[in-house]
Structure formats: structure tokens, C-alpha cells
Structure 1
């Protein structure tokens, strides 16, 4: 089973479900800021120090892939200019929270597409 989370930054109050759909479609949303992908990758790798780093942006990939010890859990991070999406496989909720906290601490509020809710204080 997987769990997906999305992150973007804006100072505007927007319809988060519409923003998410536009970003998934590859559309540029003028009200959103560009994201520092290297910073996101660095905090996620640091958040899971015992996990294998299987793919990174430095390797020329447009994603970051981390695998838990003994194939127990994985995080696949995808990047677009205005959004970072993390897909967590075989992970427990406390591990999801590590992912969420690491990215939120960079000033990128969480959007949970499973419940169409953005945790930014506006909704």
C-alpha cells in the first residue's frame, strides 16, 4: 500500500484541490513559488540516514528514491518546478510523519490528495 503527499509554497489563499490538479497536469500556476529541489532532497536523505539512496537528482534523475533496510519501506520523491510529491511504500504512519516534517520544515505545507486537504492554516 502506498501513501502520497504533495508540497508547494504560496502566500495566496487558493483552492488546493484545483492547484493540485493543475500541477499534476503539468500546468504552471503563477501564484506558486519555485521550489529548491536540492534542499528537499537533502533533508529527506538526512531524515532517513540508515536508508539506501537508490537514485538522486545529482545522478541526473528527476526523482529521489530511498529504500528502507531489508526492503522495509521506500520513498519515491518526484519533482516539478512548483511541486514536490512523495510516495511512501510499505511505511508506517510515524515514518510518513518523518517525511512530512522534513519537507514542511522547509516552508512547504502539506497537501494530502487522499483527502483533498492542504495543511496551511487556510482551509
Structure 2
């Protein structure tokens, strides 16, 4: 499994990214994160991956090749668990969240890719 995690800081808030990830992973509330339109984001993911089989409300499976992913949301975050998913598919997921100004935090690296939103 490969995890992708997305959240948005409130204006002027800067926290330790890995500590935010760990708190979100434990389903803890984190002060300083913006509320996200999670239903809108999940609907957008569904439309981008309309050719994939929607296994349930939060899971998609590629019937034309390898890969599946599960979307888990809190009011402040979107976590996507990828199973055998191609890099190009993960890039598409990152692009969808980018539309909502939610940069990727990659806990495997660990690194947050929010440079494009600063300045």
C-alpha cells in the first residue's frame, strides 16, 4: 500500500507536517487545518475515474489493469490508500486535490509538496 495524504493549513498556520500526518492517521482533530469540501472532492475523484469500477462509496478498482484505491476523509483531510496503483494514476489523484489547493503529503518520503502555494 502507498499512502497519499492531503490537507490545507489555515492562513498563517505552519505546523510540523509529520506530526499532522500522525495525528490525522490516529483520527485526532488538528487545530489550524481548513475544512475541506470532502463530498465535492470525492465526487470529483469519481468523475475523473468514471471508467474504474466503484467498489463502494470510497473505493475504486481498475478493471483494465492493476490498481485500486480507497479514499478516507475527515472534515480536514483526504487520505488515499493506493494498492498496486500506477504512478500515473497517483499523479491524477494529486492533480484532483490540487484543484482544491490541497497539496500532497507523502508519508513514505516524508515530504509535503506545498511550495506551489507559498508566496
Q: TM-score, normalised by structure 2?
A: 0.88
- Aligned-pair RMSD on alpha carbons? 1.4
| 1:36 Cα deviation after fit | 1.2
Q: TM-score, normalised by structure 1?
A: 0.85
User: Paired residue for 1:54?
Assistant: 55
Q: State the aligned residue count.
A: 114
| 1:93 Cα deviation after fit | 0.7
Which ranges of 4 or more aligned residues in structure 1 deviate by more than 3 Å? Answer: none
User: Within 5 Å, which residues of 2 pair with 1:1-123?
Assistant: 2-10=1-9, 11=11, 12-56=13-57, 64-70=58-64, 72-121=66-115
| 1:106 Cα deviation after fit | 1.1
Deviations 1:47-75 (A, max 9, x none): 1121011111xxxxxxx101111462111
Aligned mates of 1:73, 1:31 — CA distance in 2? 34
